[in-house]
Structure 1
């Protein structure tokens, strides 16, 4: 066994640091509680979901060098639940010998979408054609000079989340009001399915993948409505998606979880959309449906423990609970009792007191031996529960 493995993480003075205090952190903390691993969380908002479940909750700015650096000096291993963190501080901590997972080099590639896309091109990984712009105002010139054609997908190079920072541009009017900074314009891919594969890697080099999942999107909000596991696709397509996800993981040398989102084109090619180096929405189903859920797996990976089985016990479908349009303020979950009556339904409420349109407030998992039946129940859940305000 490696030296690190002989370290006692459990019921000991070992401290795991998490940058970010949102719902992903909260779900990671369920697992550290299970293993009795001490945790410290750094987060700007005093009301964030993580405040109730960690050993120490520290208020600070994730983009501030000193806040991140000083936090890192007080922990033994540092991980993230959001990509937008101060990388210079992480680099310095790494140079001083702190284990930072995912490594800063991986985060540098992923944090900026233009860099991420160039990485795919450099490593012969299949992705949609794109152009990179230092300023959004350059896009218009490119269209007028025949370099770029409508429609395309505009993406901010940095700080997008939950469908923010992404816009389908069909005409000149759609360009109005785009943020000015660095961005990419990506070819619109006519696709049959959006798929995702979660790859997990530990420092010893052990690698596992979860089954391919399929994502059904909300047409307006550009957010996932349903995640379906296993994906209802041909075995050959699933094998190809898994192979590409493994290749991305190998080239990126990440540690922990890497969620690889992909398009299955009309002719069954697989193109990488983007990746996230942390637990991910596409893996939430695993809490109820898998032998080892993605959050436990992330903890195992960053502590260099043996990885668990990624197999599903049953089919799982996840429904995102997002704030209803037209409601902002103190949240109320309507018809909760009605969905609890349905078979195989488990709600997860993230603990955000304030709702606003399309804000991720929770999710519901539906498990069933029969995926078709799970999908029907998922639809009922979606139509029944309402996330509104007082």
Structure 2
């Protein structure tokens, strides 16, 4: 705490995307010195960090040398060189969340085994090493349609996932070691973000409901508070708190759940970092997820997670068929609507379904916020100059 108030604290963030940028925006309020490691010199976080270091999050030497420059090291994605983090930890450097936790969460097979071992409800699963083994398992009746294939490592934002409903979908099978899950009949998808500091203090954000874009397989709309029952909400929050406690984790943990057709709450997966399902907290909750992450990793008292206003968050995605220098439409009209907060991430190049920003819409009632969000969704378009010459 003393180092924080004297402005000498050096915070390192591995990867410089929009999550890193928004974390730096919060850190700047406390005059923390920020370092970002990213290969892209134009990355969103790199342009506002105190120090930008060019390097890959997957390269041992880049991560190791970067970690030695800072007092506290954190990350905005799971895909980080674990060996470098473990070596830094062994030499006494502070990495939060802990590399062992990151290693578990990086591997969806280890994740699922963790849930099973600790009695956390999740969909039935089995681990298969190759695409050929999956096909053989189908022939032998060990795997049944419909099922979901998730690569054990490397998947994010809907990538590394294949939904196989019948034999005609087998062309979508992905090569590599995988988790095969029974396909859940999903009624709703929800998320709970929970924080824990070094003193063991835990705070949960209110449950949010997520609606997905079927083509992009990304969150299209996020609603807070959710429309689920009080009992379902309490279960989800309890499971999220249990998980972060079982992991003995410091930092922020996002836990995504399914609510199945029978109304049961089932863990889907988790992420040990700030998360897309928490962007609304910047305006609609007393303490944003980015401030809470800083509080947790610096072992400060956790902030209030009380809702200020009901909100709807929509992702601003690159339009299908547009790739090149970015051009936005509809921002002025959207900003004229009361309660609309626009966040652009500063990415110079748009691609189909690339996350380019988000909009949080707040109102005194959720119904009104939903109506405004639909209007904004129809107004904002992300196109490219190259497509419009």
Common topology (TM > 0.5): yes
Runs of 4+ with >3 A deviation: none
Please give the TM-score of this superposition, normalised by the length of structure 2: 0.97
Measure the CA separation in 1 of the matches of 2:232 and 2:173. Answer: 36
1:212-265 CA-to-partner distances (Å, cap 9, x unmatched) read 110011122211111111101111111111111111111122211000000111
- Which residue of the other structure, out of 224, 227, 235, is the alignment partner of 1:229? 224
Q: Which residues of structure 2 form unaligned runs of 5+?
A: none
How far 1:177 moved relative to its partner? 5.4
Report what 2:324 is aligned to.
329
Q: Are 2:214 and 1:219 equivalent residues in the alignment?
A: yes
How far 1:31 moved relative to its partner? 0.5
Contact 1:11–1:37 under 8 Å retained in 2 = no
Q: Are 2:80 and 1:85 equivalent residues in the alignment?
A: yes
1:264-284 CA-to-partner distances (Å, cap 9, x unmatched) read 112221100000000001100
- Which residue of the other structure, out of 131, 134, 142, is the alignment partner of 1:147? 142
Measure the CA separation in 1 of the matches of 2:169 and 2:21. Answer: 37
Query: What are the equivalent positions in structure 2 for 1:347-362 lying under 5 Å apart?
Result: 347-362=342-357
Report what 1:385 is aligned to.
380
1:304-325 CA-to-partner distances (Å, cap 9, x unmatched) read 0111001110011100111111
1:55-88 CA-to-partner distances (Å, cap 9, x unmatched) read 1000001111111111111110100101100111
Measure the CA separation in 2 of the matches of 1:21 and 1:130. Answer: 34
* SS, match of residue 287 in structure 1: helix
Q: Are 2:24 and 1:34 equivalent residues in the alignment?
A: no
1:124-176 CA-to-partner distances (Å, cap 9, x unmatched) read 11001112111122111111111111111111111112111112112334232
Report what 1:71 is aligned to.
66
Measure the CA separation in 2 of the matches of 1:64 and 1:73. Answer: 15
Query: What are the equivalent positions in structure 2 for 1:32-71 lying under 5 Å apart?
Result: 32-71=27-66
Range that drifts further, 96-105 or 130-139: 130-139
Query: What are the equivalent positions in structure 2 for 1:3-22 lying under 5 Å apart?
Result: 5=1, 7-22=2-17
Measure the CA separation in 2 of the matches of 1:385 and 1:14. Answer: 39
Q: Size of the alignment, in residue pairs? A: 385
Q: Are 2:240 and 1:245 equivalent residues in the alignment?
A: yes
Contact 1:323–1:361 under 8 Å retained in 2 = yes
Please give the TM-score of this superposition, normalised by the length of structure 1: 0.97
Q: Which residues of structure 1 form unaligned runs of 5+?
A: none
Measure the CA separation in 2 of the matches of 1:10 and 1:353. Answer: 35
Q: Are 2:182 and 1:187 equivalent residues in the alignment?
A: yes
Report what 1:121 is aligned to.
116
- Which residue of the other structure, out of 316, 333, 339, is the alignment partner of 1:338? 333
Q: Are 2:170 and 1:175 equivalent residues in the alignment?
A: yes
Query: What are the equivalent positions in structure 2 for 1:241-320 lying under 5 Å apart?
Result: 241-320=236-315
Measured on the aligned residues, the alpha-carbon RMSD in Å equals 1.1
Contact 2:162–2:172 under 8 Å retained in 1 = no
How far 1:8 moved relative to its partner? 1.9
How far 1:11 moved relative to its partner? 4.7
Measure the CA separation in 2 of the matches of 1:342 and 1:188. Answer: 40
